[in-house]
Structure 1
Amino acid sequence: MEVNETRPPVPSSEDFAHLGRGVLMGAADIIPGVSGGTVALIVGIYERLVTAISHCDGTFVGHLTHRRWRAAAAHIDLRFLVFLGLGIGCGAVALGAVMHTLLEDYRQFTLAAFFGLIGASCWLVAKLVGQWRVGEVIAAIAGAAFALWLVQQEALNHPPDALWYVFLCGVIAICAMILPGISGSFILVILGKYHDVTGIIKSALHL
């Protein structure tokens, strides 16, 4: 009697490509001033990512309620999110520990490198716009004005150590990471928790 065995799907080259893109996003997310959303836009997965996240809706809940696991997974593009999420986690953890040391011992060189990365990402996104008309220029000026206002905000010198504040910082930073051009790590700098977060990563890895 022949028995049909259900085997887990083998990761494909596309899965590993999403893993690599996730590593790039995670590494960007940990650098103040560099946006993981911008990286997602540059590597061509931003629309798919936003679509997958937006599908965490009533239909998805309905599939879960009726135990339609495969339909639920397909609805939110779970395979894509899993490999991308693994990459983001690996990239953020790997660079987060190093970043703590770089900002402590080589602050000026590290900030100069940040400047170069931000400049390069601006140029790449500008190429994606294609034809620049009046509307695009106005939108760019508005975005630049908001970014300028944001970077002029002073970091909190004595932020609360309560868990609710850490949770709030995480929520705000993650929301910012989804938006191209907004750095979640820089939000953590303003909220006074960036050094603490990278310090936790460094301590966890015993570096």
Structure 2
Amino acid sequence: MSKFHKIKEDLYNFSVGFCMGGANVIPGVSGGTMLFIMGAFSKLTGAIGTIASLETLKLLCKGKWKELYERIPWRFLFGLGVGILASFATLAKLFVWMLEKHQQFTFAFFFGLIIASIITVNRQIKKWTWGAIVSFLISTAAAFGVISLVPVDGGSQWYMLLLYGAICIIAMILPGLSGSFLLLIFGQYNRVWEAVGNLAHFDFNLQDISTVAFLGLGAVVGLGMFVHLLNYLIRKFYNATIAALIGFMVGAIPRLWPWQHELDGRFVYDAPVCNTGMIWTILCVFAGLILVLAIEFFATRKNKEQ
């Protein structure tokens, strides 16, 4: 691969990480969806599976650094990681502010994004078998059940943060599931993203550092344990697994309905009101749709060039 193509690949990996990180900030939106439509989902799960394998552990214990370096796609992971960190540094506080000040328009944009993502991921289904249909229905019901939960304060002890990290990282990497929404359910959304935003802007304090550290440790453990199961399911039950991912998106999409308000901890969905705000809301929906379809177009063209 030429130097130009390597730089081009690095920029693409950075953009994937940036989109993934930005999506993960919004409750109801999954960074895994962005991974999927940009063609990096299998590559990332494969890389994580390689890192969390016994073979890698053996090389590490034996000190075979050259073999270890050649085994793991460091360049891909580095570009992805830098993109994620960049999105957290630039978008975390912005999205939290947008949700507080312009929730309807923000939700409308991501509502359109998820609709387009469902269309895009559906193209990956080779055949809608009965197994795929059942898988779709079960995951749809499960996702809808999750978004119907009332947010509670699950506590912020270190062991609870480890648990939140393990659960939320799985949701963040799976298309359709939202780690940020689970943080909202656990009563930790504002605390976590404010901590991430503060650290990203070099505003250090012990509470923020401990919050991010324990969440990160839980995420590493949870992801390392889960990714092997996910890779197995995709390899052995491809259609049913992809159908389940689509079901997660379909079941979670009501959470992003633009016209809603909170009442006693529950989200109440309203009917659209015909006014100027409705026009802007619809435009935001189409903006989300167009963005995903554009990303899919360029990702498809990139894959054909390889």
Compute the TM-score of the two structures, normalised by the length of structure 2: 0.59
Q: Distance in 1 between matches of 2:7 and 2:20?
A: 20
Q: How does 1:181-200 map to 2 (within 5 A)?
A: 181-200=176-195
Contact 2:88–2:197 under 8 Å retained in 1:
no
CA 1:201/1:146 → structure 2, altered by over 3 Å: closer, same or farther? Answer: same
CA–CA separation in structure 2 for the residues paired with 1:15 and 1:73: 18
Residue type at the aligned position of 1:113: F
| Alignment partner of 1:50 is 2:45 | yes
Q: Are 2:7 and 1:12 equivalent residues in the alignment?
A: yes
SS in 2 for 1:23: helix
Partner of 2:224: none
Aligned to 2:119: 123
Change (3 A) 1:206 1:108: farther
- Secondary structure of the corresponding residue to residue 124 of structure 2: helix
Structure 2 CA distance for aligned equivalents of residues 178 and 70 of structure 1: 29
Is 1:36 aligned to 2:27, yes or no? no
Q: CA deviation at 1:82?
A: 1.5
Identical-pair percentage = 34
Give the match for residue 143 of structure 2: 147
Do the aligned partners of residues 63 and 76 (structure 1) sit closer, same or farther apart at CA in structure 2, a change above 3 Å counting?
same
Does the CA-based 8 Å contact 1:33-1:186 persist in structure 2? yes
Does structure 2 conserve the Cα–Cα contact (< 8 Å) formed by 1:24 and 1:39? Answer: yes
Shift, 1:110, TM fit: 2.1
| Matched-pair contact (CA < 8 Å) for 2:24–2:30 | yes
> What is the aligned counterpart of 2:75 among 58, 61, 79?
79
Q: Is the 8 A contact 2:88 2:196 kept in 1?
A: no
CA distance in 2, matches of 1:180, 1:114: 14
Partner of 2:104: 108
Q: Could you say what the CA RMSD is over the residues aligned between the two structures, in angstroms?
A: 2.3
Instruction: Provide closer, same or farther for how the CA distance between residues 51 and 202 of structure 1 changes in structure 2, counting only shifts above 3 A.
Output: closer
Instruction: Kindly provide the amino acid, as one letter, of the partner of residue 172 in structure 1.
Output: I
Contact 1:153 1:190 in 2 (8 A): yes
Q: How many residues are paired up? A: 197
Query: Matched residue of 2:183: which SS?
Result: helix
- State the distance in 2 between where 1:63 and 1:203 align: 37
| 1:166 equivalenced with 2:158 (yes/no) | no
Tell me how far 1:54 sits from its aligned partner: 0.9
> Residue 183 of structure 1: CA displacement?
0.9
Q: Higher helix proportion, which one?
A: 2
Whether contact under 8 Å (1:99, 1:198) holds in the other structure is no
